[in-house]
Structures are given as C-alpha cells and as structure tokens.
Amino acid sequence: MVQSIMDSLGGNIMPTNSAPKLFLVGIGAFLLIGTLSSIFSKTKDNENPTRIQSLWLFFYSCFLKPHRGDSKGNQQDALESFYKSQASAYDTTRKRLLKGREDMLALAAAQLVLKAKAVNSNSSRRVWVDIGGGTGWNIEAMSQFVNVSTFFASVYLVDFSPSLCEVARKRFARLGWSNVKVICQDARKFRLEDHEAVLDGGREGSPEASYFSQERPRHVGADLVTMSYSLSMIPDYYSVVDSLTSLLAPHGIIGVVDFYVQSQVDVSFRNYTGGLIDRHVNFLGRTFWRAWFDIDRVALEPGRRDYLEYRFGTVLNVNTRNYILGAIPYYIWLGAPKQPLSSSLAHEIVEKVDALVTESPYLSPVNHSNKLSLEVEKGTSEIRSKAFDAAIVNLSSNLPLPSFFYQNHHYRIYYDDQLKKHTQFNDEYIYAFTWEDTRVDERILKIKHDDVILAITSAGDNLFSYALQSPARIHAVDLNPSQNHLLELKVAAYQSLEYEDFWKIFGEGKHPEFRSLLISKMSPHLSSRAFQYWLSNHRIFTKSQGGIYDTGGSRHGIRIFRWITHVFGCRAAVKDLLAAKTLNEQREIWRNRVRPALMSRVVSRFVVSQESFLWSALGVPKNQLAILEKDHAVSKAVRGPNPTAKNTRSHAIWEYMVNTLDPVVETTHIATDNPYYYVCLNGKFSQQCHPDYLSPKAHARLSRPDALDNLRIHTDEIDEVLARITPGTLTVAVVMDSMDWFDPGSVATKSQITKLNRALKMGGRVMLRSAGLKPWYLKEFEQLGFTAKCHGSREDGACIDRVNMYASCWICTKKENLAPPTPLISNIDSFGSAEISSLTI
C-alpha cells in the first residue's frame, strides 16, 4: 500500500513545474514514515504504549503492513502477522471501533440471570466459552453485569493468536481469576469435553421434555457462547458455526456482535430473524464497507450472519450503526439451540403453543392423534393459530421456528410484521395512554376469576386493571404492532423493575437510564421485535423534554392544545387549573379563563373539525365522525329553529366538544381524580393522580413472576383472532369504539358480530362505547343473538365517566347461539399428526 502511494506521487500525472513540490512531498512522507517506524520499533515490545504510540500501531498494522503471513502461510500465521505488532495496544484502539460489545454482554448476562432465577439456583455450574476472545477484554467487561469469578464455574477464552492470548493470560493473572482458562487453538477443534467432566447427576435429555419448562436437562455444554467481532475474521466460518451447535448446552445462550452489510431484500421473506428494523444497508454502504474491511481480511458477506440465524433460533436481534466512525453497520444477536431437537418435541411445541393461543385444551401427542383421527372421519377441521401454521411451514423446510417460539415468555403471539396491514402504521403507536375509564369498566363488568376476556390493546392500561381482578385469561388484540410493543414494555417493566424505576418510566414518562434498564433488566422479558423497537426509540424516555406522553399520534392534539393556550395567553390559567384545591375553584378557572379560548368557534372550525386533525390527533375515523354529525342533526331538529346552531361539521364538532369537556370539568376534580385529562395538561401523571396500574399496590401484585402468565398479545384484526378461538370460551369482549368504524349495514359488521356470538359463552358480554347516543349497529347485535343495554348516555348533559369522550356505553349480552359458520380451513391443515411427527429439524 505504501508503495502504491509512492508510485502515485512519483507518476507523470502532474505538470513538469510541479516536480520540485512532488520531491518535497516525497521526502516529507519518507521522513514521516521513518519517524513513525522509529517510534514503532521502540514500542512494539512495550506492554503499556502511550495513546499516540497505540494509534500508530493501529494505523500501521491495519493500513500499511501487509498481512500475507510470516512463514507458514496458514490462518494462524496471518493472524499473528496482523496482531503481533499491535497486541499491546489492541484494547486501547478498539474501544471506539468495536461498538456493542458491552450491550451484547449485558443482554447475555440478563438472560443467564433470569434462567438462574427460574431454576432457583445461584450456585449452578455455569460454563462460558468466548470464541475469538483475543485479549480477554470481553471477560473482564462482563464483570459489570455479573461476578465472573463466582457466577461462572469455568470460562474458556479460545483464540488462534498467540500474541493476543499472551495478553489475556497476563490480564487474568492480574485479576486473580483462576476460573478463566486461555486456550490458544483453532475454534473448529475446540471441544468442551476435553476440558470439562460430565456434570454430577447429569443425564440424557428426554425428547419429551416440555418446551416451556424452565429447568432443562443438564448436559456437558456451555451455558454461554460468545463471539465478539470474530465471526467476520474466520475464513471457514461454516465449520465453526456448526461446531457451536454441539458446544452449546440445550438451555444455553449464544451471543454475537459483529460488523455486517446486508440488503433487506435478502431477508424480507424470512420469519425467523426476529425483526428487520434498520437491517437494510444501502448499496453504497454495502459496497464501501465490504471493500474497506477486506483490506484487513475482515469479511462482511451476508452469508455469515445468515448461516448463524439458520443454525440457531433467534432470541434477540439488533441492527445499528457506529456513528462515531462513519456509521459502520454492526449487529447484536442472541440465539438458542435450534428447536426442536426431535420430531416428538416438535409436535409438542407446536401443539402447546397452539393451545395457548386458541383457548383449546392442550392434548398430549397421543391424545391429539386420536382426536385428529376423529375430526378427519367427521370431515371437520381443527381451529389452528397462525403460530401453528408458521411453525409447520418452518419445520417442513428445516428452518428454525420463528423467534417468538424462543422467548422466555409466551405473551406475544406470532405475527408477520412485513404485511401491509401492519406496516401502514409506520412504526408509530397512536395512543400513549388509554382513554377508557377503568373505574367504570370495573363497575360494569365485575370480572371474576373464571372470565376469559378479549380486549383491544390501545396503550394497555385497562388490561392491567383487568389483570388486577385475576381473570382466567386476557387476550389483548391490536392491529398496530407498536401498540402491542408498548404493552410488552409495560409487562417487561413489571417483571424486572423496582417500583421507583417503573414509576419514572410510565408515571413521569422519562427515565435517564432507560436504555441501560432496557438492555440489562427488561430485555429477557421482551420479544425480539419489541426489544428492537424500544432500543431504536429509547430517546423517547431519555430526552430532556417531552417523554412518552408527548409521543404517538395523539401527541398532535396535546401539542395543538398547548399552542392554543399559548396564542390566547391562557397557559398560566391551565397551571392554575391543575393546582385548584377545590372543584368550585376549578370550575371558575375553566369558565372564565380556559374555556373561552379552547372552545372558541375559530378553533373548532379551523382546527378541530378538520379530518386530518381528527384522525391523526384523536384517532377519529370518517364513519365515527358521520355518527356524531348525524346525532347533531337530530338534536338540532328536536330543538327546533335556532339561528346560532348551524348544521355544519364545525358546529357538530363544537357541540360534541362542549358535551364532552364541560361535564368533565364541572363534575370531576382533575388534579386529584382525573388522570386522563391531567396527563394531557401536565405531560405526566402525579403520585396523587394516575391510572390504577401505576400504584405501588398494583406493581406489587403484577410484578410477581406468574402474575401475567394469563396474558396473550395478538397483533391482528379482531375478526382474525375471534375466528381462531375455540367457540364458547370467551366470557367478555371489550371492543371500545371499534364498531363505530364500520360502514353502516356492511357485511363486515354482521361478520364480526357473528364471530363474537360464536366465540362467547352463553351469557357472555360485549362492552362497547360509541360516539353516537344510540349507534346503528345495536340492531345488528339484536338480530344476531344479543340483547343490548345502555350503561351510560350523555343525553341532557350527563357525564358518563371521567373521560366522557364517548356519547354512550353499552353491554350486549349473548342470549342465543347462531348456526355455526363454515369452518376455518387453514392452508396448512393438510399436515396431520403423522406428517408432523415425521418432520425433523
């Protein structure tokens, strides 16, 4: 490389009169290289080079020194050629280049700690193998998260470079960690049984062992295998990855962090990668980084990562960039042994997950075979979940199961995140908090221990209120993946955080250490897609202003309200409203200082009545808007001629706002008993005013290890979920205002009500709210086996709950069964039990 630079300087590409300048440049370059070489020669044997010396060693070794090997011409020789001269400066110069190492170690440690708690053992004999561990930096860095010398019985650093291994030996001698062993060996030839004896009480694993049981059979094998920026430097990576499958214990975790370049097109059809957020690298980036790293024999071809994901199951997956050094793409990946290990276990995994989703009773493989035979004879088909369909497709193709199957919890149900119906939301949730009054829900529904509830997710707040009443099951349903990501985050926070941190994140809406807590505490309780989402959006909680309650589609309405108060000079009045000690004081401030601005006709006409505002800020679709406009027209007709009441959209919206807000301010004290409006006005909750789920009592109950095991999170349409639930198993369905969204008299309306009838037990209830005083679809419910009863109406200016956003609240109770619809036939139903048992992976 130096010669090519000199050749270009001495070439005939410059005018003749530039020769003296070129001569001086050449002399200068020669002197510079000579000086640096002198420094290098004095420091190459120095174990503690200065920062300048370290940078020179890095620059020389990476960009100037050829790496053809010194004598033998093999891989070890080439590695020594590269590392020997810079071994003493390796850690100093790699801190900024090799990003993500601490994050990978923290994620792996979090998984191991959770597994240790699950088996109630803090003294288990754990083994860690660090492939390509180099100087041992990773192992020392792990001490930030666990006590390496006591948490692991044995740690093996395997590396092929003698120079780096020597640095590692000196490191661990200094630390006094006798449980760490440095093995200078080809990773392909490393076998744990050469160093570890069979564990006391070890036994062969039963292929019938339950997939969801926390305690797995103990084999000789590593609990943790890591590869930190080493996979990209191994020429024969296939054999190394293959060797890891036998190296890793059945319950083990493998963690990898490395550079990569890949087009999203390459992986867009795969359902087992754990999500694709930020995975795509554009053409210029792919071309440049592959060429750049190829200089130092670092290979960035996509096949390395692809093969890793093929040979193991994905637990967590992160795609990000090192922006300090030109946005170099790198990934962090956590995997587990590719499940299942046998065909019978494959059958059990698929059947058990299917039962969890569909409310079907779990049947053992033998009983299932008998039941399936009976179904075939009767000519009917079983109800199957989409998780079942996806699992069978993957098993038949010898692919890993989708990443949802490898999570520590089964809250989140498999969905295809690449479908347009999910991507239409552009990775944004609409609601950061729920707009339904939990107090009213509790009073009306009176949930019992045997209730099986289906409810729209929204922000998940109400679901936790239901969970506090300990029902048998809660099915959360939302088509928007991001709303379910938010619910998952709250579940993970319950499972892993103390109340103080929980409150900061969801009470105050901000936490300066959110990213650290996400990685080291909450990550084992999240699905890969949810973890990717929140790691990518961690600044929501860490930025100095705003917070989570200033995000989502509903933020537009809150920001416009702030803008209105600023323009009309009533921001101080809003603060006084929140500080009001009594209801009378609150009323006076509202009537005289806030209402004149917020409820002005100008605001109604030019802001609130606009469809774009109603949808993006408040989530009001056109059909719901039509319902309230119709009620306004009826109300105007009843009142008779009134020159000030015009039958226009802006007047309809204005009247709806009046009927919503005036009763709320007149009857509820916002500062102490109305968290829904308090958070809108203040941007956060207070210890005196917050939803039920944010109380210390709720945290104490829902943070128990099994408190939310009855939760299922479906990312789909309500119709799709209802169609795949066993008939007659639901007792409560909370559909909020979703029925308002249907076209009047549509086939879709009848279809959903029919499916609700089918899924509900006799006497089961559908709770709904509507923008209409008596919505049109109540007649459809009555014609399809339900009786409807109103549990709240805003007629005559009444305030039906602390939100009062809807005009009415109804309970539709199932009184008769309808004729069963045509059975759902899955495109995978041709796979019977015999076919499943013959599949191998």
pLDDT 10s digits, 175-210: 999 999 999 999 989 999 888 875 444 433 333 334
Residue range 667-677: average pLDDT?
95
Judged on CB neighbours under 10 Å (0-12, 13-18, 19+), 566 is exposed
How sure is the predictor about 566, in pLDDT bands with cuts at 50, 70 and 90? confident
Confidence at 527, pLDDT banded by 50, 70, 90:
very high
Strand partners, 131: 158, 227
Three-state DSSP at 156 gives strand
pLDDT band, very low/low/confident/very high, at 125 (cuts 50, 70, 90)? confident
Contacts of 754 (CB under 8 A, 6+ apart): 784, 818, 821
Angular region, 322: left φ>0, alpha ψ -120 to 50, beta rest: beta
Delineate the domains of the chain, giving CATH numbers in brackets. Answer: 2-94 (no CATH), 103-191+221-337 (3.40.50.150), 343-406 (no CATH), 420-498+691-814 (3.40.50.150), 555-682 (no CATH)
CA atoms within 13 A on the CB side of 20: 1
pLDDT range class, residue 836, cuts 50, 70, 90: very low
Q: Containing H/E element for 762?
A: strand 760-770
Report the predicted TM-score, pTM, of the whole model to 2 decimal places.
0.83
Q: Is the pLDDT of residue 70 over 60?
A: no
Average pLDDT (327-341) is: 88
Percent of the chain whose predicted confidence (pLDDT) is above 90: 54
Query: CA dist 785 to 723, 740, 790, 810, 828, Å?
Result: 18, 20, 17, 15, 32
Phi, psi of 237 (to 5 degrees): -75, -25
Percentage of residues in the chain having pLDDT higher than 70: 73
Reduced to 3 states, what is the DSSP secondary structure of residue 139?
A: helix
Residues ≥6 apart with Cβ < 8 Å to 614 = 608, 620, 625, 653
Query: For 275-279, 295-299, 590-594, which range has the lowest pLDDT when averaged over its residues?
Result: 295-299
pLDDT grade, residue 348 (50/70/90)?
A: low
Pair of tokens at residue 768: 């709904």
pLDDT tens digits for range 352-387: 667 767 776 554 444 444 444 444 344 335 678 888
3-state secondary structure 47-87: CCCCHHHHHHHHHHHHHHCCCCCCCCCCHHHHHHHHHHHHH
pLDDT at residue 476 is higher than 80 = yes
pLDDT value for 212: 43
Give the containing element (helix H, strand E) for 322.
strand 312-322
The pLDDT mean for the chain works out to: 81
φ/ψ region of 312 (left if φ > 0, alpha if ψ in -120 to 50, else beta) reads beta
CA neighbor of 723 nearest in space, from 755, 745, 699, 769: 755
CA torsion angle 178 179 184 187 (round to 10): -170
User: Which residue, chain included where needed, has tokens 């650290």?
Assistant: 516
d(CA 504, CA 81): 52
Residue 837 has pLDDT above 60, yes or no: no
Q: Please report, for residues 46, 125, 276, 399, the alpha-carbon distance to residue 181 in angstroms, rounded to integers and kept in the order given.
A: 24, 16, 37, 35
Is the pLDDT reported for residue 434 higher than 60? Answer: yes
For the ranges 243-257, 383-397, 689-703, the lowest mean pLDDT is seen at 383-397
Q: Among 531-535, 563-567, 643-647, whose mean pLDDT is lowest?
A: 643-647
Helix (H) or strand (E) holding 627: helix 622-639
